[in-house]
Amino acid sequence: MAQSLSLHNLTLLPEAIATPRYARDALRAGILHIGVGNFHRAHQAVYLDDLFNLGKNLDWAIVGAGVRSGDAAMRQALESQDWLTTVLELEPGANRTRVTGSMIGFVPVSESGKAIVDTLDDPAIRIVSLTVTEGGYCIDPATGSFNPEHPEIRYDASHLDTPRGVFGVLLAALRRRRERNLAPFTIMSCDNIPHNGRVAMEAVAGLADLIDPSLAAYVREAVAFPNSMVDRITPATTDRERAILEERFGIRDNWPVFCEPFRQWVLEDRFPTGRPALEEVGVTFTPHVAAFELMKLRILNGGHAAIAYPAALLGIHFVHDAMADPLVRGFLDKLEAEEIIPHVPPVPGVDLIGYYQLIARRFSNPDVGDTVPRLAQDGSNRQPKFILPSTRARLQAGADVTGLALESALWCRYCAATTDAGEQILLNDANAERLTPAALAARGNPGVFLELHDIFGDLAAVPQFRSRFQTALDSIWREGTRATLQRYLDGKLG
């Protein structure tokens, strides 16, 4: 009989399921995390659970927080199970299940972030960590710079006493700490953005520039924003995962997390008010985070994008099935080897070819059940961060961009919102309303799509990229995805 997850029922779970070896009532909050999703609970929360299991740093437990409706749903799901999460690591023949207890509370979610600001009055909270997605930083995708005209920023600039956005909440809390002469908390971004610490700083300080120059100076001078690189493939949770957990493992969890066994966390050691000893549980502290970060964004995240759009157009649902398709896998291998990896700067102690081979094995893991729709979502934010930097690097080096332009053309065709077979695609993108008309218009005039300046920036004016994009898109519409991929693999697309 399955047991509902709760502190009371931990001792009733099957012996094979690892549970916290520490007393939950011994934990004290030291971190407030904004954006409690599957990745956070499979990554940061797991590292801290490992540390607490060593009996160390019990004053660094997590309090969850959020400003979106999805955060409220997560809070409700976790509250009834005492903030516990079941994490199932999926590997063929070696699935491992554990229950983590490193989260001890969750701030009530409302339209105003005032409750979070009040929670951050506590000087025991010394770190605020973030997983608010690539699109959550109020930046111009084409330039990577902070956008002071973003509606969320404009609202919080005029309503900092009752902020709605993440950065308004952070700035309001920092202002109050400064007024009370309390040390500022460190802001630690855990999102897939180049130089994520700097980007977070520009968002907080940029908002402050609109309100109070002295507060902006305080943010830039007194608040630490360490850069980080995080990695673990973590699919979305559906009723499929809930049923597997209940039927195979005897646990009833409202929102379990399924993930791959691999995980990585690389951090700058900039925590003026202290930090947990995460190096004892596998976190790498280094001043070279940017090198690791760029490697991961271009090879792994760029690889995800390369898989997503041809697979979606071919009607493939699972990532491991996409990797088993010779044309999709061939496209990924050729693109990585010829156009992406050659322009990734060296990373201390890392063989880039070996790193890609590891990634290809991770993508191929059938037990994870990662989905193509998850990889394909939010392309308008991900293309400028994961694909187009490689395109620019090759163009600057005078190299050809046939494969990268094909990837962008596949995304354009995907934005037309139908598969090659004519089935409807649900475009999960904040900019879907303008992407689909542009993608449909691009069938007759590919340049229309490239004129989305906030995504492509100056690339639309580069003749080589424009020509390669047009050739690829024409081929996809005329001959279909499979034939176009084959032409690329045969060296006949350019």
| Site of tokens 């180049």 | 194
| Alpha-carbon span 445 to 240, nearest angstrom | 42
Task: Select from 272, 287, 302 the last residue of a domain.
Answer: 287
Rounded Cα distance between 335 and 339, Å, is: 5
Assign residue 71 the CATH number of its domain. 3.40.50.720
Structure tokens at 339: 């156009």
Q: How many domains does the chain have?
A: 2
pLDDT score at 391: 98
* HSE value, Cβ hemisphere, 13 Å, CA-based, for 96: 11
CB within 8 Å of 408: residues ≥ 6 apart: 383, 387, 388, 391, 469, 472
Nearest to 31 by CA among 186, 168, 173: 186
Q: What is the DSSP letter of 237?
A: P
Closest CA to 150 of 207, 217, 70, 112: 207
Specify if 103 maps to a domain.
yes
- Say which amino acid occupies 154: R
- Supply the pLDDT for residue 398: 97
Q: Are 439 and 416 in contact (CB under 8 A)?
A: yes
Please report, for the domain that includes residue 371, its CATH number: 1.10.1040.10
Is 494 inside any structural domain?
no
Burial class, 178, CB count within 10 angstroms (exposed 0-12 / middle 13-18 / buried 19+): middle
Domain end call among 254, 287, 320: 287
Q: Residue 190 belongs to what domain range?
A: 3-287
Residue 318's SS3 state is strand
Work out the end-to-end distance of the chain between its first and last CA atoms, rounded to an integer number of angstroms: 60
Answer with the one of 246, 266, 287 that is the final residue of a domain: 287
260 shares a domain with 402: no
Under-50 pLDDT residues of the chain: none
- The closest of 267, 263, 266 to 50, measured between CA atoms, is 263
Asked if residue 431 is part of any domain, the answer here is yes
Q: Which of 259, 255, 232, 271 is nearest to 60 (CA)?
A: 271
Locate 282 and state its tokens.
Answer: 């596998």
